[in-house]
Each structure stands twice: as structure tokens, then as C-alpha cells.
């Protein structure tokens, strides 16, 4: 395969990864890294470098659409970005310290968790049980357009959410993914925010989080232009198309099918890492 053919194949694969990522709500990163490493035998450091830049593109490219819906909360996002960016730097440091096998295994586990999370029933804990002083003082609250007028919400369990966000950032920096699943977990489950607010605010945060480790990746030489170019353009095109399709598609069935694909990729990543082929 020459360079042009290889770039073409990677581009098409990235479009598919972007589509899959948008339709499952998991993001392109969790699909493209296994694809590059398992199928094309790309070293995982080049793979996560290319993936991370595509994560920034998808998150920022979709932001305008999300904002129009009026659910994202800019204050909650900004406050939690302190945790995710610190985590991202920590994760990027870890990438250079731990073996590629370990990265592969963690990646596989995150894939399995993400698949499970994408299938789980979407619900928000109701009842404002422990609205702390902290949430009030930090104004971690807002309202969103509900059925009958604006509905109010206030964040709960702020320290737990902040801690989970640090973890989300670490995974993002270690694996070159957006780790949207963990961010949503932190806001939806730990902080008791409405699901829609959690997902849109999470998308908003992903780009800033990824930017924190992208600089470190670049200076370490993880971002290889010949590979990152087709990946970034492909994932961006795929995810924007996926977001448009999402309006018409039967999401439940799609999610089921794709979750199985993600599970298969996760198991493959873990097995390959353990047997030393990654």
C-alpha cells in the first residue's frame, strides 16, 4: 500500500468511526484507537495522538448545535474543567510512564464500561436531597427549557463530581479519548444534574480537556501529521454526519448493535495487550 492509498483507507475508517461515535454518543476516539491499533497495527502512542486531535475537532464542531438547544451550563462546565484539565495533564504524564500493554488493557476496560453505560436506562436521580452549601456558593445551578416552562436544578455532591471529573480527565489524557461516558457519569449520577444538561455540558468540556494533554502529546512527538490528517478530517466528517442522522435514526436498535461492536473491540484490545501483540 502506498501513502495515498493508506491515507484513503484511514480516512474512510475514520469517517466510519466518527459515525459510530456520534450515533452511540461515545465519541470517535473510542472507536478509532482500537481500529488503528488492531487493524492497521499502528503503535498505540501514534493512535492516541491522532485520536486526541480528532476529539477536539468533534467536540468543538458540535458545540454550536448543542448550545442552540439551551441545555449546556457554562458555569458548571468551567468549574469542572479545573478538575478535567488537571487530570488530563496527569494522564498525559502517565502515558509516558506506563507500558503500552497497560494502556491497551485500561483502554479495553473503558470500552467495556462505555458500552454498558450507553445501554443503561437514562434517568436522573430525583429529589434534591443533599444540596450542599458548596453548590450554592459556586452557583452550580441553572434552568432548562422543560415541558411547562423552565425547570430549575442545583448540583449535588460537588466534591464527588469533581473527583470523578479528575478521573475522566486522566483517562482522556492517558487514552486520547474524550471520555464523555465518565463525564456524564459524574454530572448525571454523582451531581444529580438533568441528563440533557450532563451530556451537552460534557461535550462542551471535552475539547478543553483534550487541549490540556494535546500540547504534551505534540511535544512528545505522538502527533504524526501523515496519520493525524486523515483521522482528524475523517472523524470530523463522520461525526457531523452522524449527528444529523441521529435525528431520524432509530437510536435504540442502533445503540444495541454498536454496543456489541464496542464490547468486541474492548475484549480484543485486552486480549491483544495481554498476549503482547499491541
Partner 1 sequence: MQLTDERLEIAIGRMLQTGVLLAAAVVLIGGVMYLLHAPAGPRPDYSHFHSVAESLRTPGGIWHGVLHGDAESMIQFGLLLLIATPVFRVVVAGVGFAVERDQLYVWVSVAVFAVLLYSLWHIG
Q: Which is nearer to partner 1, 82 or 246 (CB)?
A: 82
Nearer to partner 1, 112 or 171 (CB): 171
Least distance in angstroms from the C-beta of 148 to partner 1: 18
**CB of residue 237 to partner 1, shortest distance in Å:** 9
The dihedrals phi and psi of 5, each to the nearest 5 degrees, come to -60, -45
141-146 and 149-154 beta bridge pairing: antiparallel
Between residues 168 and 262, which has the closer beta carbon with respect to partner 1? 168
Between the CA of residue 39 and those of 10, 34, 35, 272, 277, what are the distances in Å?
Answer: 10, 8, 5, 12, 12
Question: In the numeric block, which cell numbers belong to residue 173?
Answer: 489524557
Q: Please, which residue, 45 or 157, has the CB nearer to partner 1?
A: 45
User: Contact, 32 vs 230, CB < 8 A?
Assistant: no
Task: Of 176, 140, 160, 204, give the one whose Cα is nearest residue 36.
Answer: 176
The closest of 262, 278, 264 to 30, measured between CA atoms, is 262
Give the residue with the Cβ less far from partner 1, 37 or 156: 37
Contact (CB, 8 A) for 263 and 89: no
Give the phi and the psi of residue 104 in degrees, each rounded to 5: -60, -40
Cell readout for 146 is 422543560
CA distance 185 to 163: 12
Q: Which three cell numbers stand for residue 250?
A: 432509530
Phi, psi angle pair for 105, to nearest 5°: -65, -45
Minimal distance, residue 38 CB to partner 1, in Å: 12
Q: Whole-number minimum distance, CB 183 to partner 1, in Å?
A: 14
CB of 244 to partner 1, least distance (A): 14
The least CB distance from residue 252 to partner 1, in Å, is 28
Chain residues that interact with partner 1, rule: CB under 8 A: 1-7, 40-43, 45-46, 53, 56-57, 59-61, 63-68, 70, 72, 74-75, 78-79, 81-82, 85-86, 88-89, 92, 138-139, 143, 207-208, 210-216, 218-230, 232-233, 236
Q: Report the nearest approach of partner 1 to the CB of residue 20 (Å).
A: 20
Q: How far apart are CA 86 and CA 49, in angstroms?
A: 18
Which is nearer to partner 1, 88 or 259 (by Cβ)?
88
Which CB sits closer to partner 1, 164 or 233?
233
Amino acid at each position: 500500500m502506498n501513502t495515498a492509498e493508506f491515507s484513503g483507507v484511514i480516512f474512510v475508517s475514520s469517517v466510519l468511526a466518527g459515525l459510530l461515535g456520534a450515533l452511540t454518543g461515545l465519541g470517535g476516539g473510542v472507536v478509532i484507537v482500537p481500529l488503528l491499533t488492531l487493524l492497521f497495527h499502528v503503535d498505540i502512542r501514534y493512535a492516541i495522538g491522532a485520536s486526541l486531535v480528532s476529539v477536539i475537532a468533534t467536540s468543538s464542531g458540535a458545540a454550536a448545535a448543542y448550545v442552540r438547544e439551551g441545555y449546556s451550563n457554562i458555569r458548571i462546565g468551567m468549574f469542572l474543567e479545573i478538575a478535567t484539565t488537571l487530570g488530563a495533564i496527569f494522564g498525559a504524564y502517565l502515558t509516558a510512564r506506563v507500558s503500552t500493554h497497560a494502556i491497551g488493557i485500561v483502554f479495553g476496560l473503558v470500552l467495556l464500561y462505555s458500552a454498558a453505560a450507553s445501554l443503561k436506562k437514562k434517568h436522573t436521580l430525583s429529589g434534591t436531597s443533599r444540596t450542599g452549601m458548596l453548590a450554592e456558593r459556586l452557583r452550580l445551578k441553572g434552568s432548562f427549557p422543560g415541558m411547562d416552562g423552565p425547570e430549575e436544578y442545583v448540583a449535588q455532591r460537588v466534591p464527588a463530581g469533581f473527583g470523578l471529573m479528575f478521573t475522566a480527565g486522566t483517562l482522556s489524557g492517558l487514552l486520547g479519548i474524550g471520555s464523555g461516558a465518565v463525564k456524564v457519569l459524574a454530572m448525571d449520577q454523582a451531581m444529580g444534574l438533568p441528563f440533557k444538561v450532563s451530556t451537552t455540558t460534557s461535550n462542551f468540556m471535552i475539547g478543553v480537556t483534550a487541549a490540556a494533554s494535546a500540547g504534551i502529546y505534540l511535544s512528545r512527538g505522538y502527533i504524526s501529521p501523515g496519520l493525524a490528517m486523515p483521522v482528524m478530517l475523517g472523524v470530523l466528517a463522520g461525526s457531523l454526519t452522524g449527528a444529523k442522522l441521529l435525528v431520524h435514526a432509530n437510536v435504540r436498535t442502533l445503540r444495541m448493535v454498536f454496543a456489541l461492536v464496542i464490547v468486541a473491540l474492548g475484549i480484543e484490545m485486552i486480549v491483544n495487550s495481554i498476549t503482547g501483540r499491541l
